[in-house]
Amino acid sequence: MKKQNLIIFILAFVLTASFAGAMSFNVNYIPVKNQVYLDENAEYIVEITNNGNFDERYIIYTNDLRWHIDYEPSVIRVPKGGSMNVSLELLPSAWASTGPQIVSLTTESTRTEESIITESSIYVKDWSVKDRQYAPSIELRVTLDNDNDKIDPRKSIPVEVYLRNRNRLNIPELTIKLYSNLLYDEIVIPFEGLGELTEMFSFELDPLTVPQTDSLTIVLLMENQTVNEVKKNFKIIGYSDFVEEKDTKSELFKKTEDITITNKGNFEKSEIKRMEITFFKSLFTKTTPKSEKKYEKNRMVVYEWNVNLAPQEEKSIKIVKNYRSIIYVLMIVILLVVFYYMSRSPIITKKEILVIGSTRQGISEMKIIIYLKNRTSDIVNNIYISDKIPSLGELVKESYLGTLEPSKILIHDKKGTIAKWEIKSLEPFEERVITYKIKSKLNIIGGVTLPAARIKFDTKKGNERVVFSNKSELRLQQG
């Protein structure tokens, strides 16, 4: 039986070769160490030749569950027409058995998906050999954050370490050491022969750790000697998180908003801060610092600030909407209106001229009309009206039917005539009309202007007040 197994092994070893047909590449597996115990690794040199017209990437894998594959470099890039040697190790799994083995290894092009299957022979020696001295042999597998090489410093970093003792050697003290520029942990555990276990580690980083690339080394030590070692590269990602805090202060017809924007991340960030308000509101809005204004078609105004913040840096924006100017204007208008109504004369008056006599030589006789009206809801008492007639004219004495007769007439040779009337009171909204005639001593050509009538009366508070009518003008057109 032993002879038969030996013959099979020899034949398998002789037949170990690389299959190469009309392929775009060739592959050759050269055994370096293919007689191993279950706790040892088989070693090969893999020669890959690219016969194609393009640079290629290749992967090596096996579907045999009894073996794990590991090779360096992990990324196999071969230029067109070139070759590369790859160091490959086959690690026995928990399902591996002793005796001669044939392992199918597949080399595949990632671009063309062409593949070459190579059958490699391995002889696994039996542990029952007498007087064998076991060397520490531990399978080490590490999973870092579910094999995601991008680490968010705000979250915990879980690291899973799987160990399998490939032989019967009992290890009283096995040191598991994890270290990098940012991480460190170390534990010491006992480890039985042929045992397996999983250790979980968790690391916390400062959330403000700057983005960087780091390498976590996991090493197994027995009596200060390295048994196995694995490195895992990872990258601290950059993140920027703008947090906005708003403090609003409302006063009478004034609103102040203090906005503080803080970069809570670990990476510099630039962002456009926008605020949209109506055109009307923009007329009463001021900002600090000054923003850029953009006018939209829908009559909206957009305020924009370019916010560029380093980690933990903050920027303050003050927005003041002050409508007090409107109130001030309204108050002034109201005060003016109130003042106007308080100070205006309760009596309004108007003076007109009507021509009642004329010849080709000019105007000879005129009728003067004075209108009075009490425009308030109060009675106005003791009203005295006086009107001056220029010296060129004289008052025509007549019966004053339907109108008020002058109470006094004063005649002066040079200053003219002054007619006076007295009205005891005017009822609310009552109107009165005073008329009289004057005759010109000379015919008037072109026009005439008569002085304003003077009205004196008692106010509601008992004070005397004087108002004047308009100056009455009459112009004749020549023709």
pLDDT in tens, 387-429: 998 887 888 887 666 678 888 988 877 778 899 999 999 999 9
The token duo for 199 is 């250790």
The percent of residues in the chain predicted with pLDDT above 70, rounded, is 91
CA distance 91 to 38: 8
In this prediction, residue 363 has a pLDDT band, given cuts at 50, 70 and 90, of: confident
Residues 319 and 398 in one domain: no
For residue range 82-108, list pLDDT tens digits in order.
999 999 999 888 788 888 889 999 999
* Final residue belonging to a domain, choices 236, 256, 272: 236
Mean pLDDT of 294-306: 85
Residues 254 and 146 in one domain: no
For residue range 338-349, list pLDDT tens digits in order.
888 878 889 999
* Final residue belonging to a domain, choices 216, 236, 256: 236
> Is 470 a domain residue?
yes
Confidence (pLDDT) at 235 = 92
The CATH code of the domain that includes 428 is 2.60.40.1530
The CATH code of the domain that includes 259 is 2.60.40
pLDDT at 477 over 50: yes
* Final residue belonging to a domain, choices 199, 215, 236: 236
Total domains in the chain come to: 4
> Is 114 a domain residue?
yes
Residues 201 and 272 in one domain: no
Residues 116 and 177 in one domain: no
Confidence (pLDDT) at 15 = 42
Q: Give the range of the structural domain holding residue 166, as residue numbers without chain letter.
A: 138-236
Residues 312 and 250 in one domain: yes
The token duo for 244 is 């906005």
The token duo for 40 is 């040892």
CA distance 289 to 318: 7
For residue range 216-271, list pLDDT tens digits in order.
999 999 999 999 999 999 999 988 888 989 999 998 888 999 999 999 888 888 88
Amino acid, res. 266: N
